Amino acid sequence: MSLPTYSGIITVLTTPFDANNVIDYDVLGRHIDWLIENGVTSILQGGSTGEYYAMTMEERREALAFVAKHVAGRAQLIAGTNAMRPDDTLELNDYVKDLGYEAVMLAAPPYAAPSAEELAAHFRRIAAATDLGIILYNMPSRTAVDMGPDFLDGVRGIDNIHAIKESSGSMSRHYEHVVNYPHLQRVCGMDDQALDIFLWGAKSWIAGASNFLPAEHVALWKAAVEKRDILLGLKIMQGMMPLIYLLENGGKYIQYVKYGTELAGFDVGPMRAPMGGLTDAEKTHFEKLYDDVKALDLAALVA
């Protein structure tokens, strides 16, 4: 399998649950169709936005299989295969390859907090066991491990470790990647930094808010990446920023994504434990920001 490139909007799917807390595949299928119709180029199943940490391995495999079958070649497929046990990640990687996924996204193993040397050895083992593309996911606020230079030097030269989603919040880290790790495809991983990262040459964005604002995300990508019209991109980003800033800084990212997807017309149901829902006040505030974005008709700016 040739290694993939990443371009456009990559939606990391939220997971709809019905009243019995079971995955609602009817809603999931309709949601995927709508995302693709609105220009999303890649579908990422199994990320933290999709609450993979609250799902059994059987549920994860079932959802990965459904998404692959439903997408049916209409979009690039990427799988989130993080697991507490590294061997479960290896198993999922084999499983998704057979389903047609082109790549996997992997953070540091949760809770373990390995050293840079230990983490590099972990990823070398994973990379040796698959020929899928590997997108590194650096989010030290969740993993307590930073994929810094010592780690990146430890996996340099491994062909299928070829991209990084940088979610530390540091723009300096992006500049470091531009200068010292140009072999890595850079994928936007902080929604409120999307325009800045596109300016520095990134061509893709793994975006949770594209679950409910796909056309607006695509508009920003077209302006900043396809047209290289930074002023137009700035206008679109300014329109989206109040909502996106809340997502990244409001402490309830996944809950806001689920509520936004509900506002967009898809009943994705409640959060699974241990996460709770939004308060009425939080919903009211978010809905106002959502309505403000929709009123701007940002997608029309690049039509």
As annotated, the active-site residues are: 137, 165
The DSSP-derived string for the chain is -PPP---EEEEE----B-TTS-B-HHHHHHHHHHHHHTT--EEEESSGGGTGGGS-HHHHHHHHHHHHHHHTTSSEEEEE---SSHHHHHHHHHHHHHHT--EEEE-PPTTT---HHHHHHHHHHHHHT--SEEEEEE-HHHHS----HHHHHHTTT-TTEEEEEE-SS-HHHHHHHHHH-TTSEEEE--GGGHHHHHHTT--EEEESGGGT-HHHHHHHHIIIIIS--HHHHHHHHHHHHHHHHHHHHSS-HHHHHHHHHHHTT----PPPTT-----HHHHHHHHHHHHHHHHHTGGGGG-
- Residues constituting the chain: 303
CA dihedral 231, 210, 256, 199 (to 10 degrees): -30
Structure tokens at 294: 């929709």
